[in-house]
Structure 1
Amino acid sequence: MTTYDLIDEAVIDAPADAVWKALVSEFRGAKEWWVPSNTFHAVSGEPDAVGGRTGVVVHTKGADKGGLKLRFTSRTVAVEPGRRLDIEYVDGVFRGPSTFRLEPLADDRTRLSMHFTGSPHGWLKILAKVADLGAEHSKGTLAAFESLNRRLSAEKATAVER
């Protein structure tokens, strides 16, 4: 069976509390920086509370562009507000744990990482034999992190100008 063990990270030009707020907001369905690759919606509870469930849709050609839609659900298993969010994929085309970590850095910057340890489930197991889903996952995650950095950097610059 194929299992992905990927760590993607970026330095975000914003303090950890702003990165945390943006991450949780996105998982609640904000669609501000992870689109067009992924969209999220709350299924039950809150994404930053143990037991909260979040629906994930990976849009292989971009949101509202057709193409395959990979759907799965995560359940929050541990939370350290502003620092760490542990989830487990429990339903849909992926199963397994993932962790988001936020590490405060100098100059109000934050290292954001996602450690994705998932296995394809159902029909996705077949696709995983012919497509490099791990590379596509990292490509989408890093693009989202870059988008988040642009968004929060702009907000930070605007705040400084005031």
Structure 2
Amino acid sequence: MTTYDLIDEATIDAPADTVWSALVAEFRGARKWWVPANTFTTLSGAPDAVGGRVGVTVHTKGVDKGGPKLRFTARTIAVEPGRRLKVAYVEGVFRGTSTFSLDPLADGRTRISMHFDGSPHGWLKLLAKVADLGAEHSKGTLAAFVSLDRQLSAVPR
């Protein structure tokens, strides 16, 4: 079985509390910076509270561009407000966990990282045999982090 243990990170030109707010807002469905690759919908509870459930859709060709849509559900299993959010993938095409961590830097910026430790499930296991899903995951995550930095660095502080 294919498993992924990936860590993607970036430095965001904004303080950690601002980055945290943007992360949680995105998981609530803001569609500000992870689009066009991913969209999120709160299914129950809150994404930043243990037990909260978020529907995730990966748009393989971009939102409204056709192509396969990878859907799965993330359930929040641990939260350190402003610092760390850990989810478990409990339904859909992935099983495993992701941990989002924010590290404030001395210069006022923030290092954000996503540690994805999971495997394809169901029909996606077949696609994983012919496509490098790990590379695509990192490509989408890093593009989202660049978009987040662009959005937040333009906000006056």
Normalised by the length of structure 2, the TM-score is 0.99
What residue number does 1:120 align with? 120
| Structure 2 counterpart SS, 1:108 | coil
What residue number does 1:109 align with? 109
Q: Distance in 2 between matches of 1:5 and 1:107?
A: 30
Q: Distance in 2 between matches of 1:113 and 1:12?
A: 10
What residue number does 1:34 align with? 34
Q: Which runs of 4+ in 1 moved over 4 A?
A: none
Shift of 1:90: 0.3
What residue number does 2:17 align with? 17
Shift of 1:49: 0.1
Q: Which amino acid in structure 1 is aligned with residue 16 of structure 2?
A: A
Aligned identity (percent) is 78
Q: Distance in 2 between matches of 1:43 and 1:119?
A: 22
Normalised by the length of structure 1, the TM-score is 0.96
Shift of 1:106: 1.6
**In the TM superposition, what are the counterparts of 1:69-148 in structure 2 within 5 Å?**
69-148=69-148
Q: Distance in 1 between matches of 2:107 and 2:7?
A: 24
Shift of 1:145: 0.2
What residue number does 1:49 align with? 49
- Pairs aligned (count): 157
Shift of 1:108: 1.1
Q: Distance in 2 between matches of 1:6 and 1:110?
A: 20
Shift of 1:86: 0.5
Q: Distance in 1 between matches of 2:134 and 2:83?
A: 25
Gaps spanning 5+ residues in structure 2: where? none
Superposition CA RMSD, Å:
0.5
| Structure 2 counterpart SS, 1:140 | helix
